[in-house]
Chains A and B, each alone.
Chain A
């Protein structure tokens, strides 16, 4: 009686477990630590630009570092123009593909399509950039009769292509999560399969689809390599209607192209990190918005 041999004996601490736990904890904290370090480095190197250069200059329209002009606005607008256009292309395509894969395609087609979409996600961006330069850009030039094929639009096409796998798979999961009873309810009202999908299932999956687009957007705005290769890299203000079909330059491409040739600690150097900070803030806002839409989810209505 009363022999609880399974209870742990306090005089025998479990060293193995302790060691594993400490290692995991150490690794976890160090990766958080690295993120914080990177963040501080970014702040330390980038923040000085905000007083080294006057605000009119920093938020001016001309980026000519050699002449002391550090206007970041054309770069910000360039990034936004490319990204927004990319989303406008990727959103309908991505959602339509997700709907097709999830709702329409027969099982065997779904089995083939899903891995293909995942492979698409794995293509390195430099390969896409190459593809953009050699195939998409000439096509854009021919079709539009533009002087060059290296335009904002070309960048947007490539970015859309990069954002698609994310949008498709996240949107597909969202559609999958819509209970079957919603489909039944739609069909029972005399809706056709298409009407049920567009008027019932897709709206019910709305928050998941918004998340999908946000994640795709997050991926697109930070993308560097492919964009640098196909947008022409001219830091001009995209203000006229045809800007989309002219060369532009993005924030990421500017940093990547100029970082190699700038003297450490110079104003130009600080300016590039300053762009990094701006980019960080924008991405942070996008991700935070995505997170808020994810956690605000249960608006499905009375499933209880």
Chain B
């Protein structure tokens, strides 16, 4: 199967400090790929390269290529807002935008120019259902989003990304602030979503990595140590450093 996203020998620098070193990685469609490793390994940087959010950071430099559906997303002339609609992102902190639940979800579609009310209602319900949040908020659609619980806010952010009908969903430690039950709900939602979307997630723990991974990539200090189907990586890691990390014997 053709990979959805390909990193070809990508290196990335903040000033002179490398955050990624010669990363070559294929991310398959319709599966959950887990990017994990110790802090500062470049996981967030890697995600932010896929939707070009790091364009906003000054004083950075990149070499190598990042392809989406075989197209280099860093060639001149790429429509960056359009790219970001194809590649949704959910951040570590649930961050509702100012406004109601409804406004949060419909923010993206409205930006994209959807005006038809019936269509908007349909998007609203569909994305909230996909994020396993519909039943909890269907009576509170016009409440301020900031009144939802932390776990609900995070699923709201997932739903907000889904409302743009992206092809790829990037999640950076989406459950780091959540209790186990909310975490479970988010993970379940992801299992449903992977049939339609390409999902790339930075998990907040090795346990979560092992639970959700179809594929897992282990990063250490900007270097891709290994990438394998999750089942294999967590049972028979090829590299010693991976083994040390997942068994908790790391530095």
Q: Which residues of A contact B (CB under 8 A)?
A: 181-192, 195, 199-200, 203-204, 206, 299-304
- The residue from B99, B146, B148, B164 contacting A189, defined by CB atoms under 8 A apart: B164
Q: Are A302 and B56 in contact (CB under 8 A)?
A: no
Top-9 shortest CB links A-B:
A301-B146, A190-B85, A203-B98, A190-B84, A188-B89, A301-B96, A190-B81, A189-B108, A302-B153
Q: A189-B107, A190-B81, A192-B81 are in contact. Are A182 and B97 (CB under 8 A)?
A: yes
Q: A184-B53, A189-B164, A299-B144 are in contact. Are A203 and B99 (CB under 8 A)?
A: yes
- The residue from B51, B81, B88, B95 contacting A191, defined by CB atoms under 8 A apart: B81
Is B6's CB within 8 Å of the partner chain A?
Answer: no
Q: A188-B88, A206-B98, A304-B177 are in contact. Are A181 and B93 (CB under 8 A)?
A: yes
Query: Which partner residue on chain A sits nearest B146 by CB separation?
Result: A301
| A184-B89 Cα distance, complex, nearest whole Å | 10
Q: Are A186 and B97 in contact (CB under 8 A)?
A: yes
User: Which residues 176-230 in B have Cβ within 8 Å of A in the complex?
Assistant: 177
Is B145's CB within 8 Å of the partner chain A?
Answer: yes
| A187-B111 Cα distance, complex, nearest whole Å | 11
Is B28's CB within 8 Å of the partner chain A?
Answer: no
Q: Which of A183, A188, A299 has the most CB of B within 10 A?
A: A188
In the complex, chain A residues whose CB is within 8 Å of the CB of B94: 302
Query: Which partner residue on chain B sits nearest A204 by CB separation?
Result: B98
| A199-B80 Cα distance, complex, nearest whole Å | 18
In the complex, chain A residues whose CB is within 8 Å of the CB of B145: 301
| A189-B88 Cα distance, complex, nearest whole Å | 7
Minimal beta-carbon separation of B17 from chain A (angstroms): 20
- The residue from B51, B98, B112, B150 contacting A188, defined by CB atoms under 8 A apart: B51
In the complex, chain B residues whose CB is within 8 Å of the CB of A191: 81, 111
